[in-house]
Amino acid sequence: MFFNKKADYQSLQQAAETRRSVYALNRNLPLPAADVAAIIEHALRHTPSAFNSQSTRLLVLFGAEHEKLWDIAENALRAIVPAENFAPTAQKLAGFRAAAGTVLFYEDKSVVESLQAQFPAYADNFPVWADHADAMHQYAIWTTLAAAGIGANLQHYNPLIDVEVAKTWDIPGNWQLRAELVFGGIAAPAGEKKYEDIAPRLRVHGL
């Protein structure tokens, strides 16, 4: 099915504008958790990947399981951050813990390695292309959640938390953690965003 009406693409543009890094989150989701899981599943199914590799893997945590993740992160950080300097870190982690859930984004290294073996001329590119696919999944989920009135922010506590997370949720050894998307109800909107001048960033020829 093809869409070419102005309203169709403008709705996508509006969703892109709505997507922001929202840090003041709570557990009051505007949708049932099952609907949020369905949004994530839809993105996993329909987001593109190089060579149709479909190498992205997701771990979705709600409620107490989500809290457990940020307990793991706190324990890992307390081991490396001096106690006298830990207060700002503790405050940040408390903000993540107060949210409704987290999506953890992984790439399946076995898929990437299989493609490297099949197409040796592109071997160096497949890890890069896998990260591209992972980023597209992050954006697709984040933007759709924003369109649904759900706030989110993207974190990168990997590889610090990788081992304990893998142990806790029985993550296969070939899954490589790439990012964590914290989501929840919006307790306060994102601040004003500053935009760089578009002219040095965009070149168009042939119009």
Non-local (6+) Cβ contacts of 169 within 8 A are 59, 65
Q: What is the pLDDT of residues 88-125, one digit of tens each?
A: 999 999 999 999 999 999 999 999 999 999 999 999 99
Per-residue pLDDT at 183 exceeds 70: yes
Mean pLDDT of 52-81: 98
**Region 124-144 average pLDDT:** 98
Amino acid at 80: I
How much is the pLDDT for 116? Answer: 98
127, pLDDT greater than 90: yes
Exposed / middle / buried, residue 181 (Cβ in 10 Å: 0-12, 13-18, 19+): buried
Instruction: State residue 121's pLDDT score.
Output: 98
Quote the pLDDT of residue 119. Answer: 98
Report the pLDDT value the prediction gives residue 66, as an integer from 0 to 100.
Answer: 98
Number of DSSP helices (H) and strands (E) in the chain, helices first: 7, 5
* Domains, the chain: 22-186 (3.40.109.10)
pLDDT for residue 2 is more than 90: no
Mean pLDDT of 173-196: 97
Percent of the chain residues past pLDDT 90, beyond the cut: 96
The pTM for the full model equals 0.95
3 has pLDDT over 60: no
Residue 145 confidence (pLDDT) above 90: yes
Q: What would the mean pLDDT of 52-70 be, rounded to a whole number?
A: 98
Mean pLDDT of 179-198: 96
Farthest-apart Cα atoms in the chain, separation: 59
Strand partners, 154: 181
